[in-house]
A and B are shown apart, each in its own frame.
Chain A
């Protein structure tokens, strides 16, 4: 019996391979129509033919029959006797489906009735179908109305079949089956007779199916390329070698060789792991290949036209993901056809082409796989969604009013939300988008949606490449250790005990972290994972109380649309962990996605960041941050990132971070003093150091063994400012008092945290220390008749004065204006003839972009525009290039700004002679 079973199993596997791509092949045949691609048909033909042959040998009569009929049609198409059309392909597709069904349930296939399919196929052969103008759906609903094949030719063909099959059937020494077949064959030739026994067979069929499903759950197999296997074999050899060496080394107790072997073992293990992972990788195309058929069938059924473009079939992901992603994707694709793409008439009305376009793309992005489904359909109306969500009680009216459109569209993923405005048989099958989301989340992925009404919808799915082994950070919480997948981790933040008050705030009951200008919600892991036992309750309370004065370790995590900070008690190593499933009794723990076993044999639970977010009801906070960011940008033109430090307990200083290139921490004995100049060795180069107390009025600090060096660049070289104590890096609103301290090297002073802080101009300080470094740039060509004229637009009076002063110091003439509009008016007044425009970006009335745009579209378009920013962001730069800004400079970076000015002023004056000099 086992031999026969093995043969059957092999047959099933092989046949499934033949049939794997038949849908798409048939669809391509349909597409090419009369222009028959013989190679393609041959390929399908060969596949079907092999199935037929093997089925005949194994006595699988029904499979044999059906395959034979299909083969017949393909043969006729190949010989140009038939021109494939969509009705034919439809029937063939259904027959192929049936064939696959028979093969998958191979042991009871002989009891199935395939006569209707065979009749349909024969009708194609006889030309009945070609003439029929009946729409596809009608054919489907009445499969038994096929006309009696009175046609002599067809009967003859059928009889030929009969002989061939009976002969094979006998060979397969299954008399019963052959009798069965003969009976069925008769049925095929006389469809009216076949109809009678059908009802009786139904029960038997379904019960047989159930039985076979229960008793047979064949182990899924996977094809592995020989190359990968060879490598694995090789690595296995290496592993054995390493083990032998290890045994020897342990025997001889040789410490040195142990290190070598350990690293070798490490390397081999890594490679084995990678290779084995590779054997699990499959092309995502195996999932994608069924979608053209689905789109075709569904759009046909709904009377829509829809083209599906597929990209990235070759993207490889883990087998488990390939298997699991099919259903969610199918759902999304069906949704897009059903609700996304409009009916042809509506599309024409909206001025779109009749046929809708859907794009299905897969590609790698940042170590993950990204799948996008995009349609150019009607899009989703956020207002409608809101209304529906309110009527279903999912959200309140209040919440709806606050919601952005993007957030509203995401409501679709909310449980209990059916996307269909009307329930059709396509959607509304109880599978909502929330299920899609949950299923994708189970795979460790995320799904997001964007939609524009009238323009279409884009659904983005991101998936990890593999599930089995994931790099994770092990963290400590109370007595337990937990693993957090690295993919969720954005950064680690440590807040020192003395910073707690400033960095951690409270909004009502929630803790938040100030992180670079935005507020990040915080969750204490100890509260999430609090176990119910009383003693650990006490522990947790004690530890959280204790942590009030200790430093906090915060792990900033993100899950698609949310990010938040997780406070943990301690951090361990980053490890590659093997994911073990949790028992089904623990499935309701939403905060956990699995477990793993650590190096010491203990179990560590893997945290599900999305689950924690849901558990703690973290709102979709991106919008919030976006708003905050926008506000910060609008309101805070004068604010600057400042490095705050003190030279002495009572003396506080600040420098702007914009010009700081880095901060080094050094030991005092690393500083060399050569000829009165302090130097710091960095690699092979030396960096001159300057000290505040030597250049400006400042007290000498106490000697410390460890110092910081603030490194900045001036006149082409790196200079370090020695700083004994760093205090903070903070966003400071620069309301600067410029009158109290008028010393050179000091811009002004401000009061920060009740301490008077002096704002240091690093360039001037450097110049004070070493005037000789700056000599050459003193000159703005005095030989010129007129020094270049600069139009400066800057809204902050502080910066305006600073920049203007710096420019006039260099010999430029400067006209300063407090915003873009004033500058534009000044320019238009023709009062002055300007050579260069220097403008700030963020300004009231008219910002730098608008101003530049105006200038570039006017008679002054030849004027170079230099934009000043605090910190140049790439988005800004892009926008700037679009409107025609010639250069970007950072406000306080005097050197570069002056360089840039020299270049542009020189060019502008048309003074080539001078330009040559400066170069």
Chain B
């Protein structure tokens, strides 16, 4: 399906790997270099007065790590913890942050020319943390800009 790319571009484009996961029905991906680990440590400690999207904090081998409910950032209802729920620990500005996601999917290798711009009808706050989409056979993979997503919620909090 990606056969339409022009050859001379293909030489230049770099390949990137993306860890993909589901939040609700949405398939999301983040640059795998930002992912530190994926774990099942779902026993979080609530943080009073924290913004809505903060699920709580966990003990990540001695480091107190904030877990963020990606659903609330994406404007969905708060997540229910299920059998497939995982924490996707990403590295953001030198500190670990966990994303609570509903289900982990595959690792995809994509060339940058396989990534399209976000649809124009997504805009505003949510548009900021989507830096691209990739069309799979049955689904659309939305690529998440971790820094922006975290920044959005930091701003919300203020």
Chain B positions within 8 Å of A590 at CB level? 49
Residue A422 interfacial (CB < 8 Å): no
- Mark out the residues of chain B between 99 and 158 whose CB falls within 8 Å of any chain A CB in the assembled complex: 150, 153-154, 157-158
Docked pose: A589 CA to B57 CA in angstroms: 13
B64 interface neighbour in A528, A531, A533, A583, Cβ under 8 Å = A583
> How near does chain A come to B43, taking the closest CB pair, in angstroms?
8
Residue A765 interfacial (CB < 8 Å): no
Docked pose: A615 CA to B153 CA in angstroms: 22
Residue B1 interfacial (CB < 8 Å): no
Chain A positions within 8 Å of B154 at CB level? 584-585
> How near does chain B come to A582, taking the closest CB pair, in angstroms?
7
Chain A positions within 8 Å of B45 at CB level? 480, 595, 602-605
- When the two chains form their complex, are residues B64 and A597 in contact, meaning their CB atoms are under 8 A apart? yes
> How near does chain A come to B92, taking the closest CB pair, in angstroms?
9
Residue A300 interfacial (CB < 8 Å): no
Chain A positions within 8 Å of B63 at CB level? 580
Smallest Cβ-Cβ distance to B52: which chain A residue: A532
Residue A570 interfacial (CB < 8 Å): no
- When the two chains form their complex, are residues A581 and B49 in contact, meaning their CB atoms are under 8 A apart? no
Chain A positions within 8 Å of B54 at CB level? 585-586
Residue B62 interfacial (CB < 8 Å): yes
Docked pose: A584 CA to B43 CA in angstroms: 21
Interface string of A469-508 (1 = CB under 8 A from B): 0000000000110000000000000000000000000000
Chain B positions within 8 Å of A601 at CB level? 59
Residue B6 interfacial (CB < 8 Å): no
Smallest Cβ-Cβ distance to B154: which chain A residue: A585
- When the two chains form their complex, are residues B64 and A592 in contact, meaning their CB atoms are under 8 A apart? no
Residue A530 interfacial (CB < 8 Å): yes
Smallest Cβ-Cβ distance to B56: which chain A residue: A603
Q: Which of A533, A597, A603 is most buried by chain B, counting CB atoms within 10 A of its CB? A: A603
Interface string of B64-108 (1 = CB under 8 A from A): 111010000000001000000000000001010100000000000
- When the two chains form their complex, are residues A581 and B64 in contact, meaning their CB atoms are under 8 A apart? yes
- Mark out the residues of chain A between 583 and 634 whose CB falls within 8 Å of any chain B CB in the assembled complex: 583-586, 588-592, 595-597, 601-605, 615
> How near does chain A come to B66, taking the closest CB pair, in angstroms?
4
- When the two chains form their complex, are residues A588 and B68 in contact, meaning their CB atoms are under 8 A apart? no
Chain A positions within 8 Å of B157 at CB level? 585, 588
Residue A365 interfacial (CB < 8 Å): no
Smallest Cβ-Cβ distance to A582: which chain B residue: B64
Residue B7 interfacial (CB < 8 Å): no
- When the two chains form their complex, are residues B48 and A528 in contact, meaning their CB atoms are under 8 A apart? yes
Smallest Cβ-Cβ distance to A615: which chain B residue: B49
Residue B26 interfacial (CB < 8 Å): no
A585 interface neighbour in B49, B68, B78, Cβ under 8 Å = B68
Interface string of B23-52 (1 = CB under 8 A from A): 000000000000000000001011111111
Residue B58 interfacial (CB < 8 Å): yes
**Do A589 and B48 form a contact, CB below 8 Å, given A601-B59, A603-B57?**
yes
**Do A602 and B59 form a contact, CB below 8 Å, given A583-B66, A585-B154, A597-B64?**
yes
Chain A positions within 8 Å of B51 at CB level? 585, 588
Chain B positions within 8 Å of A602 at CB level? 43, 45, 59
Chain A positions within 8 Å of B46 at CB level? 479-480, 529, 531, 533, 536
A597 interface neighbour in B48, B62, B66, B68, Cβ under 8 Å = B62
Docked pose: A911 CA to B41 CA in angstroms: 87
> How near does chain B come to A602, taking the closest CB pair, in angstroms?
6
- When the two chains form their complex, are residues B150 and A585 in contact, meaning their CB atoms are under 8 A apart? yes
Q: How many residues of B contact A (CB 8 A)?
A: 28
Chain B positions within 8 Å of A536 at CB level? 46
- When the two chains form their complex, are residues B48 and A531 in contact, meaning their CB atoms are under 8 A apart? yes
- When the two chains form their complex, are residues A595 and B64 in contact, meaning their CB atoms are under 8 A apart? yes
B48 interface neighbour in A581, A585, A592, Cβ under 8 Å = A592
- When the two chains form their complex, are residues B50 and A589 in contact, meaning their CB atoms are under 8 A apart? yes
- When the two chains form their complex, are residues B66 and A585 in contact, meaning their CB atoms are under 8 A apart? yes
Docked pose: A590 CA to B49 CA in angstroms: 8
Chain A positions within 8 Å of B47 at CB level? 531, 586, 589, 592, 605
> How near does chain A come to B46, taking the closest CB pair, in angstroms?
5
- When the two chains form their complex, are residues B158 and A603 in contact, meaning their CB atoms are under 8 A apart? no
Q: Which of B43, B57, B66 is most buried by chain A, counting CB atoms within 10 A of its CB? A: B57
Chain A positions within 8 Å of B158 at CB level? 588
- When the two chains form their complex, are residues A591 and B48 in contact, meaning their CB atoms are under 8 A apart? yes
Chain B positions within 8 Å of A605 at CB level? 45, 47-48, 57
> How near does chain A come to B94, taking the closest CB pair, in angstroms?
10
Docked pose: A528 CA to B45 CA in angstroms: 16
Docked pose: A601 CA to B158 CA in angstroms: 31
Chain A positions within 8 Å of B150 at CB level? 585
Docked pose: A395 CA to B116 CA in angstroms: 56
- When the two chains form their complex, are residues A591 and B49 in contact, meaning their CB atoms are under 8 A apart? yes
Docked pose: A268 CA to B137 CA in angstroms: 63
Chain B positions within 8 Å of A604 at CB level? 45
Docked pose: A529 CA to B46 CA in angstroms: 9
Chain B positions within 8 Å of A597 at CB level? 59, 62, 64
Chain B positions within 8 Å of A603 at CB level? 45, 57-59, 64
**Do A586 and B59 form a contact, CB below 8 Å, given A603-B64, A604-B45?**
no
**Do A584 and B95 form a contact, CB below 8 Å, given A531-B48, A589-B50, A603-B64?**
yes
Chain A positions within 8 Å of B66 at CB level? 582-583, 585-586
Docked pose: A533 CA to B46 CA in angstroms: 10
> How near does chain A come to B98, taking the closest CB pair, in angstroms?
10
Chain A positions within 8 Å of B48 at CB level? 528-531, 589, 591-592, 605
- When the two chains form their complex, are residues B97 and A583 in contact, meaning their CB atoms are under 8 A apart? yes
**Do A585 and B153 form a contact, CB below 8 Å, given A529-B48, A590-B49?**
yes
Docked pose: A744 CA to B87 CA in angstroms: 78
Chain A positions within 8 Å of B153 at CB level? 585
A580 interface neighbour in B49, B64, B78, Cβ under 8 Å = B64
Interface string of A342-385 (1 = CB under 8 A from B): 00000000000000000000000000000000000000000000
> How near does chain B come to A193, taking the closest CB pair, in angstroms?
48
- When the two chains form their complex, are residues A583 and B50 in contact, meaning their CB atoms are under 8 A apart? no
Q: Which of A480, A530, A584 is most buried by chain B, counting CB atoms within 10 A of its CB? A: A584
- Mark out the residues of chain A between 227 and 276 whose CB falls within 8 Å of any chain B CB in the assembled complex: none
Chain A positions within 8 Å of B95 at CB level? 583-584
> How near does chain A come to B6, taking the closest CB pair, in angstroms?
38
> How near does chain B come to A567, taking the closest CB pair, in angstroms?
15
Q: Which of B45, B54, B63 is most buried by chain A, counting CB atoms within 10 A of its CB? A: B45
> How near does chain A come to B127, taking the closest CB pair, in angstroms?
21
Docked pose: A580 CA to B45 CA in angstroms: 14
Smallest Cβ-Cβ distance to B151: which chain A residue: A585
Smallest Cβ-Cβ distance to B57: which chain A residue: A603
> How near does chain A come to B61, taking the closest CB pair, in angstroms?
10
Docked pose: A591 CA to B48 CA in angstroms: 8
- When the two chains form their complex, are residues A586 and B50 in contact, meaning their CB atoms are under 8 A apart? yes
Docked pose: A588 CA to B51 CA in angstroms: 9
**Do A529 and B49 form a contact, CB below 8 Å, given A582-B57, A585-B97?**
yes
Smallest Cβ-Cβ distance to B49: which chain A residue: A589
Smallest Cβ-Cβ distance to A578: which chain B residue: B62
Chain B positions within 8 Å of A581 at CB level? 64
Q: Which of B43, B49, B78, B158 is most buried by chain A, counting CB atoms within 10 A of its CB? A: B49
Docked pose: A595 CA to B54 CA in angstroms: 15
- When the two chains form their complex, are residues A595 and B52 in contact, meaning their CB atoms are under 8 A apart? no
Chain A positions within 8 Å of B64 at CB level? 580-583, 595-597, 603
What are 25 pairs between A and B in contact, CB < 8 Å?
A529-B48, A529-B49, A530-B48, A531-B50, A532-B52, A533-B46, A536-B46, A583-B57, A583-B95, A585-B97, A585-B153, A586-B47, A586-B50, A586-B66, A588-B157, A589-B48, A589-B49, A589-B50, A590-B49, A592-B49, A603-B45, A603-B59, A604-B45, A605-B47, A605-B48
9 further A-B pairs in the complex, CB-CB below 8 A; given A529-B46, A585-B97, A597-B62: A530-B48, A582-B57, A582-B66, A583-B64, A583-B97, A585-B157, A589-B50, A597-B59, A603-B57
Which residues of A are in contact with B by a Cβ distance under 8 Å?
Answer: 479-480, 528-533, 536, 580-586, 588-592, 595-597, 601-605, 615
Which 5 A-B pairs rank lowest in CB-CB distance, beginning with the nearest? A529-B48, A583-B66, A595-B64, A603-B45, A580-B64
